[in-house]
Amino acid sequence: MRDVYVAGIGITTFTRLEFALSEIASYASMMALKDAGITEVDQVYVANMGAPRVNHQTALASAVVDSLSLTPAGAAAIENGPASGGSAIKAGFQAVASGMDDVVLVVGVERMREVNGLEATDFIATLTHPIAEYIYGVTLPAHAAMFTRLYMDKYGVTERHLAMVGVKNQNAALNNEWAHLQQEISLEGILDSPEAMTNNPYVAEPLRFFDACPVSDGGAAIILVSEEKAKELGRPMIKISGVGQATDTHAVHEREEPTDLLAVRKAAADAFEMAGLTPDDVDVAELHDAFTILEIAESEEVGFFPKGEGHLALERGDTALGGKIPINVGGGLKGRGHPVGATGVAQAWEIVTQLRGDGGDRQVEDASVGFTCNFGGFGNNVVCLTFEKEA
Amino acid sequence: MAREIYAYKCRLCDTMHYPFRMVCKNCKQNDFFEFDTVPLPRDGKLLTFTRVYNLPPQYEVPTLGLGIVELENGMRMLGQLDIDEPKAGMAVKGSVEVVREETYDDFYGMVFRSA
């Protein structure tokens, strides 16, 4: 298997975007192509979840590859729920590692604000089990809420811990010009003051408004290349050293221990094993905080902290910029936004930015090993990646 | 006939499944739909729950109670809750009712109330 490097990255602002879906994908892609200094690729993978349903568009990859004048390169869309981005990176990795392609563009994109919030919630809810979950009115916030309650009862996580994750990540987004939320929040404003319950109402008890990521439009792109091509292009040598993907039961109630996220555990362990790294080697991590509880739970399952102690690490400041293992320093899904298909690629974008030392006010000092966890379904399809900077 | 929600029992190894799956998760040999249907029990205890405020557009109610219940045979299922103040561990009893209405279809599922 050949080594695979990231030679270019690009991103759009995550917000409500009044552009066609393929244009959003193309903007991010153009930045990545320019960053890498190339105008041709062998293959394009487009990560997207909602085009057919939300944007009434199918065969999105054909639109994107032509819009970028990259024809006759191969092109395909990858739909894998909220893990579409990570899955497309994995496909691109395999294409380069196998020797089949030398240059692959991976772009993730979503335009969810084309419909109203309730319809967007319903669109995401269609990833749940059709008969055992969806028909009951289950939404992703509902799944996260039921998971949170179990976590609270078992491990002593409180609403304050959840709010601390929200404050940390939303305020981190202030250092990221591409992030959706650009408003500073405080524990006082969303938890402690008399107005807090008005500012921060329940979405699905015990989760509140500020425990959930926003509904965003946006795109993110990376260029994957072989070692030979990477050296030729002369960009910083950022290697994807580990790739892990794992699945779990479709219906959440079928899991033996409902507080375990076994797919996260296995995907992370596989990525670390492939890279020859351990969780302690990681300098900066992007975890899939679609809901605040997920950052806490994933920080345990990927191996940064013992099970049940993620909230204690949060209290100690271990996960903040300057802490032992800074998590979501670019805002995470909570602050950056969560255009579903784009998220896994945006996580890679942030890690590459960090490993290049281009993080500005959010730069993690001397970052040379990065990690991403892209969480699909409610934990039923997860992709983890490790990134390493080479001298 | 009373409406039921069924578990699926593998004829090769007796493992029970809910919801239906095509291949038994235990013996993995059952690839020809050899399952017996067994009605799910109605009695159970509430494991976890939520009240949802942002509902899909089909729901014309302000909030909806949902929970995961451990049934008396040890299996689990998700259902709607018609309980004012749910508590983890409380005894509940299910009833099969319409849980989602769409233009040409009514979907039936389990609604749990305090036992």
Question: Residue B82 CA to chain centroid, in angstroms?
Answer: 14
Q: Would you state the pLDDT for residue B33?
A: 75
User: What proportion of chain A, given as a percentage, has pLDDT over 90?
Assistant: 99
Predicted confidence at residue A71, as pLDDT, reads 98
pLDDT value, residue A133: 98
Best B50, B73, B84 member to test A by mutation, with max A CBs in 10 Å, is: B50
C-alpha B76 chain-centroid distance: 7
Q: How far is CA A273 from the centre of its chain?
A: 21
Q: What is the mean pLDDT of residues A305-323?
A: 98
Residue ranges of the domains in chain B?
A: 6-39, 43-114
At A236, list the tokens.
Answer: 């910083």
Contact A226/A2 with Cβ under 8 angstroms?
A: yes
* B20 to chain A, closest Cα gap in Å: 9
The token pair at A356 is 């290049």
CB distance B51–A138 less than 8 Å? no
Residue B31: per-residue pLDDT: 67
The answer for residues whose C-beta is within 8 angstroms of residue A291's C-beta and 6 or more apart is A140, A141, A144, A148, A207, A211, A212, A213
Among A225-239, B19-33, B59-73, which stretch is predicted with the lowest mean pLDDT?
Answer: B19-33
Interface test with B, best of A129, A131, A135, A250 (most B CBs within 10 A): A135
Mutation target to probe the B interface, by most B beta carbons within 10 A, among A122, A136, A208 is: A136
Query: Residue B1 pLDDT > 70, yes or no?
Result: no
| A136 Cα to chain B: minimum distance (Å) | 6
Q: What is the pLDDT of residue A29?
A: 98
Over the stretch A43-70, which tens digit does the pLDDT of each residue have?
Answer: 999 999 999 999 999 999 999 999 999 9
Chain A residues with CB under 8 Å of B80 CB are 136-137
Question: Given phi > 0 = left and psi -120 to 50 = alpha, else beta, which region is A321?
Answer: beta
Q: Kindly list the residues from chain B whose CB atom is less than 8 angstroms away from the CB atom of residue A135.
A: 99-100, 107, 109
Prediction pTM value: 0.97
The residue assigned the tokens 């179990």 is A150
Phi, psi of A378, deg, nearest 5: -100, 75
d(CA A369, CA A367): 6
pLDDT of residue A337 exceeding 80: yes
Q: Which residues of A touch B78 (CB under 8 A)?
A: 132-133, 136, 138, 251-253
How far apart (Å, rounded) are the C-alpha atoms in residues A330 and A334? 10
Residue B32: pLDDT over 80: no
CATH assignment of the domain containing A54: 3.40.47.10
Number of A–B residue contacts, CB under 8 Å: 98
Distance from CA of A215 to the nearest CA of B (A): 13
Q: B57 falls in which pLDDT band (50, 70, 90)?
A: confident
Interface of A with B in 230-269 (CB under 8 A): 251-254, 258
Would you call B100 and A136 a contact, using CB atoms and an 8 Å cutoff?
A: yes
> Is A106 within the bounds of a domain?
yes
pLDDT in tens, A15-31: 999 999 999 999 999 99
Distance CA A295, CA A309 (A): 12
Q: Are B48 and A201 inside 8 Å of each other by CB?
A: no
Residue B50 near residue A150 (C-beta atoms within 8 A): no
Stretch A182-201: mean pLDDT: 96
- pLDDT of B2 higher than 90: no
Residue B23 is predicted with a pLDDT of 92
What 3-state DSSP class applies to A78?
A: strand
For chain A, what is the domain count? 1
Taking only Cα atoms into account, the Rg of chain A, rounded to an integer number of angstroms, comes to 19
Chain B CB contacts of A149 below 8 Å: 48-50, 88
Measure the CA–CA gap between A25 and A64, rounded to whole angstroms: 7
Q: At residue A371, does pLDDT exceed 90?
A: yes
Whether A107 maps to a domain, the answer reads: yes
Q: Chain B contact for A153, CB < 8 A?
A: yes
**Predicted confidence (pLDDT) at residue B30 exceeds the cutoff of 90:** no
Burial class of residue A344, CB neighbours in 10 A (0-12, 13-18, 19+): buried
Mean pLDDT over each residue of chain B, to the nearest integer: 93
User: What range does the domain containing A84 cover?
Assistant: 4-116+215-233
- What digits encode the pLDDT tens for the residues A254-280? 999 999 999 999 999 999 999 999 999
Q: How far is A133 from chain B (nearest CA, A)?
A: 7
